[in-house]
Amino acid sequence: MSARQQASWLPLVCICLVMSMIYFTSLGTNVVISKWIETFDTDIGFVQLVIMMTSLIGGGFMLLTSKLGEKFGKKKILATGIVIYLTGLVTALISPTQVVFFVGWAIIWPIGW
């Protein structure tokens, strides 16, 4: 294989890794629901709101991200998305209150999808 043919696989591998991260993180959501309720001393309604907003915001930004990728370049948008994704995830992980958790998990994190 030439260097050009090998390099053409790199974007596909990056996208597959990003999609795997999203899948595994979303899959783990159902497992930690009871821990969220215990940690933030809240009810199931809050957890349902967080999960619903995550899906709504993530789904809404997917089409926008596609258009931004066409306009500004897919590599730049992918790199920006990864930074936003990790920022939201870290914010949610270190959140001391349910409001900070909501902002990190349901608003910032899905924008990076």
Cβ neighbours around 111 below 10 Å, total: 18
Report pLDDT for 4.
Answer: 61
CA angle 19, 89, 67 (to 5 degrees): 50
- Which residues in the chain show pLDDT less than 70? 1-7
Report pLDDT for 3.
Answer: 60
Q: Which two tokens stand for residue 96?
A: 């001391």
Report pLDDT for 94.
Answer: 93
Report pLDDT for 2.
Answer: 62
Report pLDDT for 103.
Answer: 93
Residues 6+ apart with CB under 8 A from 40: 46, 97, 98, 101
| Rounded Cα distance, 17 and 111, in Å | 17
